[in-house]
Chain A
């Protein structure tokens, strides 16, 4: 039994484990203390001071996020002194802030705005100390940085350092000039940033936002000459509802499809289709590498690592450029979709590919950069014209005036609208691995994976690095060299964990054959384009929704999807075939490390 401490908060007796912060102790008795720099994903900063409380016997107020409870503390959270101080602190933050809330993308989803409103601060109390002539950095395809809206809470800095081990941004200068800055204050597209957008989802204000592309998409929709196609990623359907009045963890797939059709997209398709296709290609790529290594003793890069997460891909390009051969050559589902929409799909429905505007609805900020990678033009055109975030889709639906809650469900269009449960779980950490195992195991043994209801539970959940081993027995004759082999896999989410995995590879001690890496904590459901806020509690609910969606699908394995079979029969011919290489695989670029 751990040591406990007894205290009183607003007269309520509380007993908590020694070392608990006053803030967390207050939560246990439902006393809400306002915060700004605090985020449960991150270490304690104690910078904003908004969470100050009064502790009996102390002259100064105490920042409740940073102060551990001490035996016998008498804490008061809403005295006149506390309220006065908080009002003053919020007023100061407002005085340093660009208060053009009416035009701010984060309006009504801004923590400073909420605090200022709650404490009814007087904007005239202090003179404005907002730095003049601050320019918005719009250099990145993925992220916009507007210093005029920064409250210097350093949540972005801690996110980039602690969760992602990237450190693209840090605190620079001091005193009145202190600011969040890239190296040399260079434009975001010029520095070692992986575009994951976690800084965006952890920013309490509009200082960091995704670069928006929906204005262009509205224009394209209104252009009768254009055929506008959208594909929606697995994790969008389990999070979009949060922006439209639903509780966290609600699946809104059918309503989303309907809304997008009403908005005017000519075709609403499913990224899950190319997720299934990824499994076909990547699964066979894995088998090919293993065959080369184990059957022929050739030197191939193992473990093989997934390549669906563009934040992760850019991370390894920057941080481990000498190990790019470990990455699967498969494009991400978004990019496979893009190259097929302007080839296979265009052919099928008889539309000139030059008229197609291909849009991807993604939980992701990095997908925007990925869409604009110069090599992503396999179709002869830019394969994906725009990647929109879940938040942008939410905004579009709001702008459209649709009564979202009362929309009837609709099914995806065809072609490329069909998919399996294996594809939808791509949205959660471990999902790609699970989907791959469902197919690869069956290809090798002719039997289903030996897990109840196909749920490969060891690869699920929020643990930073997950491991699993699957023993191959009674394999089909073509794979006799795999008889008795124990396939070892690992799953990492959040780039901090990816670094651990990569350091093992670098040291030559990696025990795995196949690794799934997702840049964002929790996988795509916790992506940089998802509704704000995201916390572990929210991640868990979105993940639960993903697995529920999987269980409800008539087809649960990628290789059994009729449209997937059809595209191989009619167009691609075989996994890893000539056409696949042309359209579905890619190469990587060594980027600067520092």
Chain B
């Protein structure tokens, strides 16, 4: 464990007094909050890794009197379950983070978009929300939060698709620009952050940017919640400092026979054993929303890829050509190669296709299918054929 640093920021250090951090943040100006966020170097925990402070700053600068804060709790990436845990254990921190953001950007309304699969949590969240609203009223923070439910659509985790869904439409990603900071939910300037990001924001307000920055590396500040699953004796949620090597991670969490780790879920990268040593988990290396799936040598990487492609083929919104048809072709293609109906060289054709998807798809989903496809096919080619 010596090379891995466990942290207890997200679940820990909870104040007994309800909404204390939020209350004390109210004495700070919008500028002070945003400066603190920028100084912390916090990057979004959903996976894309945009600087949170800058996102808040851009939105704060917009002139529109109506703005929104949206919490993305549509945790659908295979292998990710940390937001569910956060919302179960420390929902107060999430609501606090949203409310602080509301203060920073000048928004009066926040939405939490909770995936339909987590519907069972709604009663508890509503109870906490009532407590939040009581306290917000008490110290005069004019910021209300509403929870909207998803209904089983992975793509709604994509921010503009999520807006569409809240607006009552099909969750189809929009063209960008305009970006959410300019025209997001209901076409108003919007900050949308992941559940974990809002918790980090609260911890930054509590301890200050300097304390937060002590964790992690220059490119990846702070700690991160990791959802560890697959062939591991330690499946579960672990908060770790960013910037570790994958080798260290596997040492801690592997079952001694790890042949590959899928970092970042189905839309992330598959790292084979030979690359564990030179792979850094963080924005300078392989970024992740927290999903770490371990596979040992008993697993067929063909089956793994088949499972991912099956997922994408269903969960693509279907509007753009490369994603809708590309996903079908990749799946149909690997099956055909495996069955011997297509020569192994067809895999090269499919790799080119995945590259086309990466550079032409409308949103992050279609663009990232190539990540797992290429990294699995290139590293485990023989498993694809025989």
Contacts and interface: CB of A to CB of B under 8 A. Distances in A.
A61 interface: yes
Given A127-B336, A175-B313, A63 B321 contact: no
B358 interface: yes
A175 B318 contact: yes
Contact of A68 (B177, B314, B320, B367): B177
B326 interface: yes
B171 to A, nearest CB: 8
A60 interface: yes
B329 A92 contact: yes
Given A92-B322, A92-B329, A49 B362 contact: yes
A93 interface: yes
A44 to B, nearest CB: 7
A49 B349 contact: no
Interface string B323-340: 011111100110010000
A176 B324 contact: yes
B360 A85 contact: yes
Chain B binding site: helix, strand, loop or mixed by DSSP? Answer: helix
Contacts of B314: 174-177
Contacts of A171: 170, 172, 318-319
A48 interface: yes
The CB with the most chain B CB atoms within 10 A, among A45, A50, A96, A126, is that of A126
A178 B318 contact: yes
Interface in B171-189: 172, 175, 177
Interface string A226-258: 000000000000000000000000000000000
Given A152-B318, A175-B317, A49 B360 contact: yes
Nearest to B324: A178
Interface residues of B, number: 37
B175 A46 contact: yes
Given A175-B317, A176-B318, A152 B362 contact: no
Interface in A168-186: 171, 173-178
Contact of A174 (B155, B325, B336, B361): B155
Contacts of A88: 322, 352-353, 356, 360
B359 A50 contact: no
A84 B360 CA distance: 11
Contacts of B342: 127
Nearest to A50: B321
A395 B175 CA distance: 40
Contacts of B336: 127
A175 B315 contact: yes
Interface in B342-386: 342, 349, 352-353, 356, 358-362, 367
A59 interface: yes
A330 interface: no
A125 interface: yes
Given A93-B325, A127-B329, A174-B170, A66 B317 contact: no
A585 B324 CA distance: 51
B71 interface: no
Nearest to A128: B332
Nearest to A97: B325
Contacts of A125: 349
B186 to A, nearest CB: 18
A95 interface: yes
A178 B320 CA distance: 10
Contacts of A96: 324-325, 328
Contacts of A84: 352, 356
A47 interface: yes
Chain A binding site: helix, strand, loop or mixed by DSSP? Answer: loop
A85 B322 CA distance: 10
B320 A48 contact: yes
A48 B321 contact: yes
Nearest to B357: A88
A127 B346 CA distance: 11
B362 A46 contact: yes
A587 to B, nearest CB: 38
A52 interface: yes
Given A89-B321, A176-B313, A176-B318, A59 B359 contact: yes
B153 interface: yes
A61 B320 CA distance: 14
Nearest to A129: B328
Given A60-B358, A174-B315, A176-B316, A66 B175 contact: yes
Contacts of A60: 358-360, 367
A534 interface: no
B230 to A, nearest CB: 25
Nearest to A96: B325
Given A89-B356, A127-B336, A95 B329 contact: yes
Interface in B232-250: none
A154 interface: yes
Contacts of A92: 321-322, 325-326, 329, 353
A289 B279 CA distance: 84
A47 B319 contact: yes
Contacts of A151: 321
Contacts of A52: 359-360
The CB with the most chain A CB atoms within 10 A, among B170, B312, B321, is that of B321
A155 B78 CA distance: 34
B174 to A, nearest CB: 9
A525 to B, nearest CB: 32
The CB with the most chain B CB atoms within 10 A, among A59, A89, A173, A177, is that of A89
A456 to B, nearest CB: 41
Interface string B146-178: 000000010100000000000000101001010
A60 to B, nearest CB: 5
A213 to B, nearest CB: 34
Contact of B356 (A46, A59, A85): A85
Contacts of A59: 359
Contacts of B362: 46-47, 49, 63
Contacts of B319: 45, 47, 152, 154, 171, 178
A63 B175 contact: yes
Contacts of A63: 175, 360, 362
Contacts of B352: 84, 88
B332 A61 contact: no
Nearest to A172: B170
A49 B359 CA distance: 10
B49 to A, nearest CB: 16
B161 to A, nearest CB: 10
Contacts of A95: 325, 329
25 contacts: A46-B362, A49-B320, A49-B322, A49-B360, A60-B367, A61-B359, A85-B356, A88-B356, A92-B353, A93-B325, A125-B349, A126-B333, A127-B329, A127-B332, A127-B336, A152-B321, A152-B324, A154-B319, A171-B170, A174-B314, A174-B315, A174-B316, A174-B318, A176-B316, A177-B318
- Shortest 6 CB-CB distances between A and B: which pairs? A178-B318, A66-B175, A92-B325, A88-B356, A46-B175, A175-B316
Given A126-B329, A127-B333, 14 more contacts: A44-B175, A45-B319, A46-B175, A48-B321, A60-B358, A60-B367, A66-B175, A67-B175, A88-B322, A127-B332, A171-B319, A174-B317, A176-B324, A176-B327
Interface of B: 153, 155, 170, 172, 175, 177, 312-322, 324-329, 332-333, 336, 342, 349, 352-353, 356, 358-362, 367
Interface of A: 44-50, 52, 59-61, 63, 66-68, 81, 84-85, 88-89, 92-93, 95-96, 125-127, 129, 151-152, 154, 171, 173-178
